[in-house]
């Protein structure tokens, strides 16, 4: 396999109020070079923690088990310069550009920082490159923008700046954590289109995190669905919506958040989404699943190959048949 990134059996525990809580449990996921993979799930399902594990940006005190290999490197054991090299090669686009860009430094400083500090590119050269990439992400008047401060730019512009900054270091993998959730609807579409186009042009791999199954399907080759810190299903994005194998995916698809209001928390099936540490024995979705049986409580369903994808539901086959 020519995987750029391969995560297997990733379990992450975080300290909270003096006890260790599981937030990711046995997550396995791989991304090939140039491939876009969606990561969908309700709030608290562990999407951000999965992305953060890849660049080792977990909260202090996190305990990590399992393996993460990026271009042959064992990520959890990287230190110092080799860890910084990994981070230069994997760019992150955060949800809230307003909070994730230093408010007291200029836009130009934000854009060129990685080039100048890590790659020792001269200021003039770095700024020239920044202006060119700004132009690509649809921000005109680059030289003036470089001298402005973040508070002088709108949210949409600022997110384009964040995307430009992520592209400037010429990474191989982009981690986009709900890059458009903080923006208004028209801007969302524009920013999404730019991100999608530039990624394809450059043959960049991407892990795209969203609440929106349809949006993931529009920009990703494959999509993984997470619930309570676990992967429930991974399949070709095109198939997920209409041919979901997992009851949770089907519930997400049925919720169909309208394009006008992409709800922060999806109301899918009755009941509230569980975090990994609250999940019951057996299937974590069993508390809300309309198809639950006794054996769903008895064993924890592992992710297993089915129908060209993978699914973690003991009744997947029989349910798939009954759908048709």
Label the pairing between strands 309-311 and 230-236.
antiparallel
Window 16 to 75, contacts with ligand ATP (CB under 6 A): 16, 23, 41, 43-49, 59
| Per-residue x/- track, 137-166, other proteins (CB under 8 A) | ------------x-x-------------x-
User: Rule CB under 8 A: is residue 114 a binding residue for other proteins?
Assistant: yes
277 is a site residue for other proteins (CB under 8 A): no
Binding site partner of 277, from ligand SF4, Mg ion, other proteins, none, Cβ cut-off 5-8 A by kind: none
Q: Pick from 62, 86, 130, 244 the residue near other proteins by CB under 8 A.
A: 86
Of these, 22, 25, 28, 48, which contacts Mg ion (CB under 5 A)?
Answer: 48
State which of residues 6, 69, 71, 84 lies at the interface with other proteins (CB under 8 A): 84
- Residue closer to other proteins (CB basis): 96 or 190: 96
Q: Pick the stretch among 85-93, 136-144, 227-235, 279-287 that binds other proteins (CB under 8 A).
A: 85-93
Three state DSSP letters for 81-134: HHHHHHHHHEEEECCCHHHHCCCCCCHHHHHHHHHHHHCCCCHHHHHHHHHHHH
- Residues 262-321 contacting ligand ATP, CB under 6 A: 275
Of 64 and 292, which CB lies nearer to ligand SF4 in the complex structure?
Answer: 292
Distances in Å between the Cα of 264 and the Cα atoms of 29, 78, 190, 240 are 24, 35, 20, 21
Residue 237 CA to residue 103 CA, distance in Å, equals 37
Find the shortest distance in angstroms from Cβ 208 to ligand SF4: 24
266 binds, among Mg ion, ligand SF4, ligand ATP, none (CB under 5 to 8 A by kind): none
Torsion angles phi and psi, residue 157, rounded to 5? -60, -40
Q: Are 276 and 22 in contact (CB under 8 A)?
A: yes
Question: Residue 112, interface with other proteins (CB under 8 A)?
Answer: no
The edge-to-edge listing of strands for the beta sheet with 19-32 is 19-32, 3-16, 63-70, 73-74
Q: Of 182 and 283, which has the nearer Cβ to other proteins?
A: 182
The DSSP H or E segment spanning 16 is strand 3-16
Which residues pair with residue 207 across a beta bridge?
A: 37, 175
Q: With binding defined as CB under 6 A, does residue 257 bind ligand ATP?
A: no
By a kind-dependent CB cut-off of 5 to 8 A, residue 96 interacts, out of ligand SF4, ligand ATP, other proteins, none, with other proteins
Helix (H) or strand (E) holding 213, with range, is helix 213-219
* Binding of other proteins by 207 (CB under 8 A): no
Residue 104 lies near other proteins (rule: CB under 8 A): yes
One symbol per residue from 117 to 136: x for binding other proteins (CB under 8 A), - otherwise; what is it? Answer: xx------------------
CA distances from 91 to 58, 88, 168, 279, 314 (A): 15, 7, 9, 32, 37
User: What is the pairing mode between strands 90-93 and 73-74?
Assistant: unpaired
């Amino acid at each position: 396999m020519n995987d750029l990134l391969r995560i297997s059996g990733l379990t992450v525990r975080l300290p909270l109020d003096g006890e260790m809580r599981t937030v990711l449990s046995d997550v396995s996921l791989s991304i090939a070079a140039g491939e876009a993979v969606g990561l969908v799930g309700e709030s608290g399902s562990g999407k951000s923690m999965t992305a953060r594990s890849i660049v080792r940006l977990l909260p202090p005190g996190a305990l990590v088990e399992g393996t993460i290999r990026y271009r042959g490197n064992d990520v959890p054991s990287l230190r110092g310069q080799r860890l910084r090299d990994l981070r230069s090669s994997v760019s992150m686009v955060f949800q809230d550009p307003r909070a994730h860009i230093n408010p007291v430094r200029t836009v130009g400083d934000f854009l060129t920082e990685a080039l100048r500090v890590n790659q020792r590119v001269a200021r003039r050269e770095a700024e020239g490159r920044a202006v060119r990439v700004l132009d690509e992400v649809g921000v005109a008047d680059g030289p003036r923008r470089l001298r402005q401060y973040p508070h002088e730019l709108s949210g949409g512009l600022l997110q384009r700046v964040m995307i430009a900054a992520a592209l400037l270091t010429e990474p191989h993998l982009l981690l986009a954590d709900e890059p458009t959730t903080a923006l208004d609807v028209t801007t969302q579409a524009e920013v999404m289109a730019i991100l999608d186009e530039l990624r394809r042009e450059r043959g960049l791999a991407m892990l795209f995190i969203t609440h929106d199954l349809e949006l993931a399907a529009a920009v990703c080759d494959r999509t993984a669905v997470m619930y309570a810190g676990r992967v429930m299903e991974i399949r070709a994005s095109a198939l997920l919506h209409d041919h979901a194998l997992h009851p949770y995916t089907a519930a997400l698809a049925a919720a169909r958040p309208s394009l006008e209001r992409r709800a922060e928390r999806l109301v899918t099936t009755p009941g509230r989404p569980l975090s990994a540490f609250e999940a019951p024995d057996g299937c974590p979705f069993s508390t809300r699943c309309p198809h639950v049986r006794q054996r769903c409580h008895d064993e924890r369903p592992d992710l297993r190959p089915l129908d060209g994808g993978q699914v973690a539901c003991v009744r997947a086959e029989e349910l798939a048949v009954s759908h048709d």
